[in-house]
Amino acid sequence: MKFDSVTDDNIVTLVDRFYDRIREDAELGPVFEGIVAGHWDRHLTTMYRFWSSVMLKSGTYHGSPMQAHMRIPDLRPELFSRWLVLFERTVTEMFEPDLAARFLERANRIAESLKLGLFFRPEAVVVNRS
């Protein structure tokens, strides 16, 4: 049975299942383990608050995702695509389609914002003026 509402309890279940997948993933697992090893409980609690704030407007998250991601040495733009694949798989298994779509819309927007902030370099853009 899929969830037909977004609650803090459902967000906890989502985050736990999603990060179980992250930890098992050949690409993302080592990146996360290198950063979060030894404090997974703290990271998961932060993610519960983050998604509660995103989806329920709870205001319980007070961090800076951009700064947190800037400290990840092995982060590459293509890892965001893998993250989104795993996230989509998890939310579509757990939530009714309209709710899964809401999560995915926000996740895609967040990933794009982080990629732009972390990797976009305006000086590298070449404009063809001919």
pLDDT at 19: 97
pLDDT at 75: 86
pLDDT at 15: 98
pLDDT at 115: 92
pLDDT at 72: 85
Query: What number does CATH give the domain 8-119?
Result: 1.10.490.10
Cβ contact 9:95 at 8 Å: no
For the chain, list residues with pLDDT below 50. Answer: 125
The rounded distance, in Å, linking the Cα atoms of 102 and 91 is 10
Ramachandran bin of 8, using left for φ above 0, alpha for ψ from -120 to 50, beta for the remaining angles: alpha
pLDDT at 111: 95
pLDDT at 26: 96
pLDDT at 74: 78
Domain boundaries, the chain: 8-119
pLDDT at 126: 55
Q: DSSP 3-state assignment of 40?
A: helix
The reply to whether the predicted model has a pTM over 0.85 is yes
